[in-house]
Amino acid sequence: MRFYIATLLLTLTFSLPPVCLAQETKPDETINKGAASQAKSEELEDVTIKGTIKQEIKTQKPLVRIEEEMIEVDMPAMETEEQLFSKTPATLEIWREAYGHILSSKQAAFPGYTGLVETPIATFQPQIRGEKVISKWNLVITDSKGCDFKKFKGSGDQSIVVVWEGYNDKNEILNVGDMYTYVFNYTDMAGNPHTVVGRPFSVNGLVHQEKNGLFISIANKALFVEERDQIKIKEDIFPMLKETADRIKDYFGLPISVIAYGDTTAKALGQANAMAEYLANNLIIWVDQIKVAGYQIEQEKQHVDVIVHNR
């Protein structure tokens, strides 16, 4: 409610008749003055009286009310939400067709593949026959040529557990595809030597982190079909290659290189290009984005390295 105070200015105008005063005049002056008086009597003087009147004028401004139904305002938004929640994706309308399409997509990852081996490579727990007490022992891992690759040794009668990360004494990783075995030698408290020979084993696919990147190494003999003038990937290796592509997806956007080691430089380069083409199709990137190289090397060391440069 608001109140206003107004001030009014009142102006009144009155006309008053002229006032005549008697005085002695001469005859000529009387005539002249008589004429002048008659002329002035026809004119009236204006008198102005000024004053102010103060009076309070009270006014009240009515409140503005907008009558509106809130439910009606919200209804359009609520109807939109209902439409979003009630709509079924096209890929789920026909489940059998959609499910097969999703599984066959190259973008789908399959965590169930376990063909690639990660470090540590193996854990050795030699079993001692009888109740012999050990004074000292050593464990030697040898390659396919019978050469010592890694040695472990110890003493005492405690339980023996040896964890191998896959490196030799020179900090070189094992050769994928090569055959390895272990020999466990120990001496009992009576000084009698004993030898236990383990079963041979090999690793066709290996994941190992190095200083210059993440390496996924796959043996050539497990990867390619032996043909004279054609480089072809084996069908039974595709699960491991799919697992390789899924591992690389965890490092999306990082540079990728493929280095192959084969009988000749030309053949190795062809193998590297074949691997790069497969990865490009499964990672949905341009094959030119993958750097390739090929080198000649002895047969037991022939493999392909897929390198993710994460360092």
Range ranked top by mean pLDDT from 2-16, 33-47, 60-74, 208-222:
208-222
| Beta bridge pairs of residue 15 | 46
Mean pLDDT check: name the lowest of 111-120, 159-168, 177-186, 240-249. 111-120
pLDDT top residue among 191 and 307: 307
pLDDT at 4: 42
Mode of pairing for the β-strands spanning 232-233 and 3-16: unpaired
**What is the DSSP secondary-structure string of 280-303?**
HHHHTS-GGGEEEEEEE--GGG-E
Q: What Cα–Cα distance (Å) separates residue 23 from each residue in 28, 29, 33, 112?
A: 14, 11, 11, 141
The answer to whether residues 195 and 109 touch, using CB atoms and an 8 Å cutoff, is: no
Q: pTM surpassing 0.85? A: no
Contacts of residue 28, defined as CB under 8 A and 6 or more positions apart, other chains included, come to: none
Overall residue count recorded for the chain in this entry = 311
Domains for the chain: give ranges and CATH numbers.
3-58 (no CATH), 71-103 (no CATH), 122-202 (2.60.40.4070), 205-308 (3.30.1330.60)
> Residue 31: which pLDDT band, with cuts at 50, 70 and 90?
very low
Q: Which of 199, 172, 171 is nearest to 184 (CA)?
A: 199
Q: Is the pLDDT of residue 88 over 50?
A: yes
pLDDT for residue 30 is more than 90: no
Q: For 101-121, what is the mean pLDDT?
A: 72
Average pLDDT over residues 123-135: 73
> 107, 284 in Cβ contact below 8 A?
yes
* pLDDT above 90 coverage of the chain, percent: 37
Question: In Å, what is the CA distance from 147 to each residue of 122, 123, 140, 142?
Answer: 19, 20, 10, 5
pLDDT score for 240:
93
When mean pLDDT is compared over 14-18, 49-53, 86-90, 194-198, the highest value belongs to 194-198
Q: Answer yes or no: is pLDDT of 163 > 80.
A: yes
| pLDDT of amino acid 265 | 94
**What local confidence, expressed as pLDDT, does residue 116 receive?**
92
- Say which residue, 215 or 46, is predicted with more confidence: 215
The predicted structure's pLDDT at residue 1 = 45
